Structure 1
Amino acid sequence: MLRRLVRPLYPPGTSLDSKLLFNIRLKIKRMLAKGDIDLASHTVMFFLLIAWESPSTPKVGQSTPSQCLMVRKKVCLPCEGFTIRETIDGYVWLIESVVAMAPGRKLCDIKFIIGDGIFAAETILTKLGIEDTCHVILDHHHLLSLDIGSWPKAFGLNLFSHLKEDLTSMVKSTSLTAYEQALESARATLRNHPDQKHAKYLERHIHSKRHLYANHIIQKFAGHLNFQGNAPSERNHCISVRHVQSPPVNISAMSFTASSSEDLEAGTTWFSPEEQDLELFCRSVPKVELHVHLDGCFDPQDLWAYLQLNPHLLQCFPVEKKLPWERKDAPAARIQDSVAKCSTALDYRRLCTCRRRYRRLRHGQEPRRSMQRVKGSLEDMLLCFEFFTPLVYDNFALLEHLACDFVRRQYEQNVIYSEVRYSPQLLASDPRLAHSAITKGLRRGCQEFPNIIVNQLLCGINFCPQWAADVVNMAIEFRDDFPCAVVGIDVAAGEDHFHPESPFHKDHFAMCQKAAQHGIPITLHAGEVPESMDNVPKAILKYGAKRIGHGYAAVRDLETMELIKAKQIHFEACPSSSVETGGWIKTDWNDHPANVLRSNAIKVSLSSDDPAVFNTSLTWQWRIALKKMGWNKDDVLQVLQDSIDASFAPESQKEKVRHRLQQEYNSRNERSGRLMEVNFPDFRDRVHYDS
């Protein structure tokens, strides 16, 4: 692999002998072996990674003494005696090599600070398959300098001379007031300019990205590194290090580009500086998640990397596939061709992600109706799974790894109890082997990340009734197999089985009857889409469901609401999912079905559903609840209590979780409602922004 990575960096005909490769590998390992470097932290900052010796003679050079510049849980890693051509491919190669040799680290765990390479930064990140350009840190010198600055080039030297004072004030302002005064002055200068592209540039490329350069934001997250670079009076380069003390999604004054259902309007913020304790609360509060699909958590970045290491696995994808939810006369989906046309991790992520902006799959030679809808649908979401489930099918080592990674992400979000669901029949020809691999991965994760409890739910699949009997038999077989036992069943991927005339009905109904006879708890997807309102009472009265997954359609019928209340049915709400699948037509978040249910004394929980497919996280769902749906901290704590009460966990596990939640509630009261900063794992939300 190393030889393949190195080849593009050398002139044609260069002999890459084993000694040269050994020396390269040794140098990288020495970098990783330095005593002060802790790659178990989630951030490594690569600074001065590559030294350029000559344009045509890349080589391993002589070591240059250097020190690691440390800041809390961050490492600034100068390149120790490593000389190759200073090219974009060189940067990409070295970064990939270092990450590949760092046990337990992944590319998506790393933030990048690129100083003098700022103009190539987005190209570098694209080649690495990283789409979150909020991690490209801009330094002052490369913005304002007349010789190399990006802003003088954008405005032209003549216009920039009139703007320089205001732009410099925006960069160096130490308060929001000073920043806004400078911004308004710059806007006034451009208001009467004949070419309005400059005014647009100010808004789109400067003001909207102020979190990348403005001191009044950066200095809120102050750290200390020695000032470096060729303009220390500008405090350039390393000043940008300061604001990665907290992940960009948590910076109070940061604005986002609207890119998914849970984003705010472009240019608005999540939490104001006065509300920053809500962000700490979102991240630190112990959480419970009842509705999350394991296969919907598989990170496309990981799967893409795995496919690149094993390119022969492209053949595991079907050339064409008739999708069971499509019309009989609909053309088959061209699965293998769509995957083969992905050239970067970003391409593959778009293929595997159900987001409105990704719905026109660029790779389909014959785009189908379901690929082109503007409005989201359940079928759009199900289509995404076709582009990655073949890769994990019968791959038990990979399934174990992905299951363990699921626990890691739950730990990072402080999710202390999870019920993760999946269909073992969808993941392997022998479902028991799939269950065994997943259970092994979950248990390993729970050992590595203590105080996390995970149980399993097995799913029948709506359009595969032949699997139903095996699902309930496995649930009975593994119900007491703790830790990570099977504690319930579900039917996912559609609701046709609720109709007695459907060919899917008989087997799934029998599955639920048998589960009830053996005391296996039942939760069912019902009322997920607008036309499925009648399925909620069927799930409760006929199938014996104690919880309802989604159920948004139920709020349109008062009689159904009364039934839910009388039977004390718990609802598993997934805010982002409800928008992307069309389950709730978004108007005002205050009118979300979860709020309607709660206002009628019906208990709900919040979950992420398929966080990788919806490009979101459980933490993000709580942000939506607090910022958009009008919830407060007491609402959150009450919903979490209701969630563990409605879980299918044994009482001993419930008591452990209740104790943790009670500790949080007591601690909050002792602080008179103010959440103090606590230690919790570094976590980067799975929410990406790309243009």
Structure 2
Amino acid sequence: MSWKDFPKVELHLHLEGAAPPAFVRGLAQEKGINLDRVFDERGNYAFRDFTHFLQVYEAATQVLKTPEDYRRLTLAVLEQCAENGVIYAETFLSPDFCGGRDVIAWKEYLHAMKEAAQQAEAQMGITLRGIVTCIRHFGPDKARETAICAAETAGGWITGFGMGGDEGLGRQGDFAWAFDCAREAGLRLTTHAGEFGGPESIRQAVQDLKVERIGHGVRAIEDPALVDILAETGVVLEVCPGSNVALGLYPSYGAHPIARLREAGVKVTVSTDDPPFFNTTMTREYEELERAFRWGIEDFTALNAIAIDAAFCDEGTRTGIKEKLEQAA
């Protein structure tokens, strides 16, 4: 069967990282910005490894300079998501890229993105919520500024706070002030860990930042005691198999630990991370997981149920999305 129209919930999606290459190239042409080194000869994003990926990612974002750019970006990304059956998504937003962590400027960008999300919901039936994200390799001080932006706009559409970036720099606990600030503002918490940082980074995230979700978290499989902790505490993993394979963490979907983690009782979900960078979509993720593990409707229905229960949204929104999922079951 085709999984394209199967309703899906996605929790781990970077807004800039989901920008279609054609959209970025078009914006670059409008602004006279040279992005030759960002794309390969076929017009796709080109990078060698994770560190280079981060560099290409940040180079591509330089075309996004105004709230209007982000309004257009949000619509382009949600159109792609909706085409692949996503009915609810949460996206990571970085005030670092949206106004340089200035609260007043951030609010202008945020208004533009919310406006686009409302338009997409009305026209495409997809619901979006935002998770403000600090950038780990920018350091703890800038993370504090990002957390203040998050706290000043918490509630309603902004529902969470997280951290992305280079896991090789610093420890999770170095960013505790930012996470405490976000928590006090009522935001739900997640952070990238256990991708390139190894199992210990997951322990740090749970113990030092007290997050309820982990972005990736797949390296937990290397530590059976940690797997038990995740299963017992119910910490949810935002797993992005295609991303992990594309960046060389695992050689194939079949070698990916998502099925073993699930069998061990860990709550796992499926997302795309930065889909055009990794040549994936939510449809492709489902297709590859079906092929690798023989997962079917019952499996993906269960994964969606975990995802919507773990979503950082209000109960009214959660109930509405659950009704849509149940109608399609």
Counterpart of 1:553 in structure 2 is: 219
**2:303 paired with 1:582:** no
Match of 1:519 among 175, 186, 198: 186
Counterpart residue identity of residue 310, structure 2: A
Name the SS for the 2:96 alignment partner: helix
Alignment partners' CA distance in 2, 1:427 and 1:385: 15
Name the SS for the 1:545 alignment partner: coil
Alignment partners' CA distance in 2, 1:443 and 1:423: 20
Native 8 Å contact 1:592 1:629 kept in 2:
no
Superposed counterparts of 1:302-381, under 5 Å: 302-311=23-32, 313-314=33-34, 338=37, 347=41, 349-350=43-44, 352-354=45-47, 359=48, 377-381=49-53
Counterpart of 1:492 in structure 2 is: 164
TM-score by length of 1: 0.45
Name the SS for the 2:188 alignment partner: coil
Deviations 1:178-219 (A, max 9, x none): xxxxxxxxxxxxxxxxxxxxxxxxxxxxxxxxxxxxxxxxxx
Alignment partners' CA distance in 1, 2:171 and 2:106: 27
Alignment partners' CA distance in 1, 2:247 and 2:81: 24
Native 8 Å contact 2:90 2:130 kept in 1:
yes
Match of 2:145 among 440, 445, 470: 470
Deviations 1:148-196 (A, max 9, x none): xxxxxxxxxxxxxxxxxxxxxxxxxxxxxxxxxxxxxxxxxxxxxxxxx
**2:323 paired with 1:659:** yes
Q: How many Å apart are 1:299 and its aligned residue?
A: 1.3
Counterpart of 2:119 in structure 1 is: 444
Native 8 Å contact 1:590 1:628 kept in 2:
yes
Name the SS for the 1:387 alignment partner: helix
Counterpart of 1:299 in structure 2 is: 20
**2:90 paired with 1:391:** no
Counterpart of 2:86 in structure 1 is: 415
Alignment partners' CA distance in 1, 2:31 and 2:203: 47
Q: How many Å apart are 1:390 and its aligned residue?
A: 1.1
Counterpart residue identity of residue 557, structure 1: D
Name the SS for the 2:97 alignment partner: helix
Instruction: Report the CA distance shift for 1:524/1:645 in structure 2 as closer, same or farther (over 3 A).
Output: same
Counterpart of 1:192 in structure 2 is: none
TM-score by length of 2: 0.91
Name the SS for the 2:178 alignment partner: helix
Alignment partners' CA distance in 1, 2:150 and 2:37: 36
Counterpart of 1:17 in structure 2 is: none
Q: How many Å apart are 1:337 and its aligned residue?
A: 6.9
Superposed counterparts of 1:157-306, under 5 Å: 278-279=1-2, 282-306=3-27
Superposed counterparts of 1:662-677, under 5 Å: 662-665=326-329
Equivalent pairs counted in the alignment come to 324
Match of 2:256 among 592, 604, 616: 592
Q: How many Å apart are 1:380 and its aligned residue?
A: 3.0
Percent same amino acid at aligned positions? 24
Q: How many Å apart are 1:305 and its aligned residue?
A: 2.4
Instruction: Report the CA distance shift for 1:448/1:411 in structure 2 as closer, same or farther (over 3 A).
Output: same
Native 8 Å contact 2:214 2:237 kept in 1:
yes
Native 8 Å contact 2:155 2:186 kept in 1:
no
Q: How many Å apart are 1:496 and its aligned residue?
A: 4.2
Tell which structure's C-alpha radius of gyration is larger: 1
Match of 1:458 among 132, 142, 159: 132
Q: How many Å apart are 1:575 and its aligned residue?
A: 1.0
Name the SS for the 1:540 alignment partner: helix
Alignment partners' CA distance in 1, 2:301 and 2:10: 13
Q: How many Å apart are 1:564 and its aligned residue?
A: 0.6
Any unmatched runs of 5+ in structure 1? 1-277, 315-335, 360-376, 666-691
Which one scores higher on RCO, CA 8 angstroms, separation ≥ 6?
Answer: 2
- Normalized per residue, the structure richer in strand is 2
Any unmatched runs of 5+ in structure 2? none
Instruction: Report the CA distance shift for 1:662/1:498 in structure 2 as closer, same or farther (over 3 A).
Output: farther
Superposed counterparts of 1:127-142, under 5 Å: none
Native 8 Å contact 2:290 2:296 kept in 1:
yes
**2:292 paired with 1:628:** yes
